[in-house]
Structure 1
């Protein structure tokens, strides 16, 4: 419970929403992105989240689709970022290479800092938009300690009500942080 969220729902500091393909993302207008970011950001802010990161589910690396620009805005007290990175393995390899280039020791904390950016904590909740039988290749590191909620919806129609549904499912769970009961 916090000042922005009098609800006893477990605290959500960092949410990740994964949906659509790189092609879906590239086809959206700036107006569509502004609406999506604002709509989801309001829900995240309402539950007291500090960060909401939106990523595509996938996008073949050989696809001739332009990569949409990163978008970051603040909605209330929540920083909302849309990052069009599709390959979690490449992100991991780039993080290690960046640490090596900076002569920074390669530790789980250092990798965490790069892969979770702009957030400074692991995601509490990862919402996967689409069929509930696949995990997104865009996430690799983030899945270990996050609660996963699958929402069977088309990315183009995913909105505030879907995110509310995912947060409700999260609130009813007992977090194990990677462990088993």
Structure 2
């Protein structure tokens, strides 16, 4: 095992997510599950790269993903737990600041701490992502990521979102295993 427990895949615009069919979501979930096998990964979280959803659009995308994966819907997240304990979670909020506000609003004021916010931001995963695989340009950080960037390794891939394959994630994992993690630190 490479110390790789949680991977976040960030790709596609809100428009692309809206246009993704149930069959395509099924394929994407299968590709991501396939990439996770054999490396000890417990969670994959998927979120859009950029964009915005109306409430109706968010519900439409969540229902389509839930139908494709057999997952359950909780607000803006669809979660599917495999028989072997692997969890794939689709977060349908493309705005990291809005997701943070939604999480903070869902917690009682007396319970808002860094730990409770972190737990709620990563739910159902229990930890920060070890690796973030970004389907987008390497010169721009996705607006959907805000909380996750501090302690995660970023790998950018050139594959368009709707052509995502397990080999893209496996290559990112391979790249991850060769890195010296600094957990938010900088070179001095």
Q: TM-score range by the shorter chain?
A: 0.7 to 0.9
How much is the aligned-residue C-alpha RMSD, in angstroms? Answer: 1.7
Match of 1:31 among 20, 23, 27: 23
Q: C-alpha separation between the residues in 1 aligned to 2:115 and 2:52? A: 29
User: Scaled by the length of structure 2, what TM-score is found?
Assistant: 0.84
Deviates more, 1:158-167 or 1:76-85: 76-85
Q: C-alpha separation between the residues in 2 aligned to 1:14 and 1:104? A: 29
Q: C-alpha separation between the residues in 1 aligned to 2:146 and 2:40? A: 25
Q: C-alpha separation between the residues in 2 aligned to 1:36 and 1:79? A: 14
Q: C-alpha separation between the residues in 2 aligned to 1:45 and 1:79? A: 12
> Shift of the alpha carbon at 1:103?
4.1
CA contact (8 A) 1:50 1:77 kept: yes
Show the counterpart of 1:165.
Answer: 171
How many pairs are equivalent? Answer: 170
State the SS of the aligned residue for 2:151.
coil
User: Scaled by the length of structure 1, what TM-score is found?
Assistant: 0.87
**Structure holding more helix per residue:** 2
Deviates more, 1:43-52 or 1:162-171: 43-52
The unaligned stretches of length 5 or more in structure 1 are 2-9
CA contact (8 A) 1:45 1:77 kept: no
CA contact (8 A) 1:23 1:65 kept: no
- Following TM superposition, where does structure 1 have runs of at least 4 consecutive aligned residues deviating by more than 6 angstroms? none
Match of 2:86 among 78, 92, 110: 78
State the SS of the aligned residue for 1:49.
coil
